[in-house]
Amino acid sequence: MPPTPSSPAVERLLDANLDRAREGLRVLEDWARFALDRADLVARCKDMRQRLGRLHADRYKLARHTASDPAAGMGHPAQLARQDPSQVVGANASRVAEALRVLEEFGRADTPALAAEAAAIRYQLYDLEVELLQAVQLAAAGGEARRQLLARCHLYLISGPMAGLESMVEAALQGGVRLLQYRAKAEAVAADGTPLDDAARLQQARALRQLTSRYGALFIVNDRIDLALAVGADGVHLGQGDLPPALARRLLGPACLIGRSTHHLAQLQQAVADGCDYVGVGPVHATPTKPGREPVGLDYVRQVAGASPIPFFAIGGIDATNLGAVCAAGATRVAVVRAISAAADPRLAAGTLLKALEQGC
């Protein structure tokens, strides 16, 4: 006689698959937490796991009888073949999806709420798995992947403490920005006007790191090598008065990106000799971001365009109104601050600048 909806056999089956799904989600959650430093992915895994936990009824657990389970302890050689994080993530995501499908099918008659929740989580899991695998692959690819992405970046957003920082950055990322720098100088203040301490810097940098990871963008920290290490940034940007690139490379390792601000040709040549991955060229125009700094104008952009073997970003007071002249001087990449952060629609501003750059202005 086949098992009835509330029979011990069905209860044992639901218990086993609730355990399986929750355990698999915990594996994904811990990898996102400890290896990827992705609080957003951790939160999504935890939410799924807790939703299933609320429906893991005591009657399912009380029906458990491991001693009579013919498959208890059964393994498979394929489990031993998982040698890298991508395989572990993929295997556990599949494990969760399979368990959810069983819960959906057998839970309909026994607990419709469990079946409905399992179905909803299963579809959410498909997107989560893709994001986890992308994050794992980017982390594994290291420097080569970062430098390839850097080479494709034409628009570099530099931003720091401001009201609505995260929403502005996310809008810019939605507009196509794939290179972001967090710059919070010693004199920086919070949105309420109070001095910004390192705890606040860490919180902001971590939030931006998570945002850029979600959108597949590079995240650079200005000056602060310690902060870059703390949040797993893709690299640092150094001014002429900061630590030398060789020391930054020693601390960060070969996979991280190092950028350098330059104001004349000798500094460009030194940055190349130091093994920098890209340079900033400017300020092209006077800008409140660098008060008192004499602009270098377009002549220096022209010099760098004919001499730089590494990517360079023209910077300093550049916006949609003067972008054409900067491009005409030979720049194909620009870094901006207020052109996006002060725009009424940062997403539109980013998209407009990026389209112009990709079309040669």
Compute the distance between CA of residue 250 and CA of residue 231 in angstroms, rounded to an integer: 18
Q: What is the pLDDT of residue 142?
A: 74
What are the CA-CA distances from residue 34 to residues 26, 30, 37, 193, 232 (Å)?
12, 6, 6, 34, 11
Integer Cα distance of 10 and 252 in angstroms: 54
| pLDDT confidence of residue 132 | 87
Query: Quick one: pLDDT band at residue 138, thresholds 50, 70, 90?
Result: low
Structure token digits, residue 258: 């190092």
pLDDT band at 76 (very low <50, low <70, confident <90, very high): very low
Amino acid present at 118: A
Residues 169 and 305 in one domain: yes
Identify the CATH number of the domain in which residue 342 sits: 3.20.20.70
Q: What is the mean pLDDT of residues 9-31?
A: 96
Return the number of other C-beta atoms located less than 10 Å from residue 260's C-beta: 26
Chain centre distance of CA 246 = 26
Catalytic residue among 26, 183, 302, 338: 183
Question: What pLDDT, in 10s, does the model give residues 237-289?
Answer: 999 999 999 999 999 888 899 999 999 999 999 999 999 999 999 999 987 76
pLDDT at 175 exceeding the cut of 60: yes
13 & 119 share domain: yes
- Asked whether 298 and 267 are in contact (CB, 8 A), the reply is no
Q: Is the domain of 148 the same as that of 137?
A: no
Same domain, 212 and 319: yes
* Predicted local distance difference test score (pLDDT) of residue 72: 58
Instruction: Say how far apart CA 79 and CA 347 lie, in whole Å.
Output: 45
Residue 1 in any domain: the answer is no
Answer whether residue 297 is part of any domain: yes
136 and 163 housed in the same domain: no
Given 77, 110, 141, the domain boundary residue is 141
Is residue 164 predicted with pLDDT exceeding 90?
yes
Contact present, 20 and 95 (Cβ < 8 Å): yes
Residue 3: inside a domain, yes or no? no
**Does 244 share its domain with 129?**
no
Residue 285 lies in a domain: yes
What residue has token string 């999806």?
97
Site of tokens 């893991």: 56
Q: Which of 141, 175, 202 is the last residue of a domain?
A: 141
73 vs 39: which has the higher pLDDT: 39
For residue 188, the SS3 value is coil
More confident of the two residues 49 and 287: 49
The answer on 179 and 295 residing in a single domain is yes
| 2 assigned to some structural domain | no
> Among 159, 213, 261, 341, which one carries the catalytic annotation?
261
pLDDT in tens, 294-325: 889 999 999 999 999 999 999 999 999 999 99
Residue type, 58: D
Q: Are strands 257-262 and 155-159 parallel, antiparallel or unpaired?
A: unpaired
261 is catalytic: yes
* Mean pLDDT rounded to a whole number for the chain: 90
Phi, psi torsion values for 312, nearest 5 degrees = -130, 150
User: Domain tally for the chain?
Assistant: 2
Res. 71 pLDDT band, cuts 50 70 90: low
pLDDT tens digits for range 197-227: 999 999 999 999 989 988 989 999 999 999 9
| Stronger pLDDT, 103 or 135, i.e. the higher one | 103
Q: Are residues 117 and 186 in the same domain?
A: no
The amino acid at 73? G
Shared domain check, 150 and 84 = no
- 38 classed as catalytic: no
Residue 36 shares a structural domain with residue 174: no
Q: Who has greater pLDDT, 72 or 166?
A: 166
Q: Of 290, 302, 338, 355, which one is the catalytic site residue?
A: 290
Least confident segment among 142-151, 217-226, 321-330 = 142-151
* Residue 227 in tokens: 């902060």
Confidence of residue 232 (pLDDT cuts 50, 70, 90): confident
- Quick one: pLDDT band at residue 1, thresholds 50, 70, 90? very low
Is 68 tagged catalytic? no
Domain that holds residue 23: 8-141
**Residue where a domain stops, chosen among 141, 174, 194:** 141
Together in a domain, 290 and 216: yes
**Adjacent-strand bridge partners of 219:** 180
Phi (first) and psi of residue 251, to 5 degrees: -80, -40
- Quick one: 25 and 47 in the same domain? yes
What stretches of the chain show up as alpha helix (H) in DSSP? 8-34, 39-54, 58-62, 77-80, 85-110, 112-141, 143-152, 165-174, 198-214, 225-231, 245-252, 265-273, 297-305, 323-328, 338-341, 346-358
Per-residue pLDDT, 3: 53
**What CATH number did the domain enclosing 98 receive?**
1.20.1260
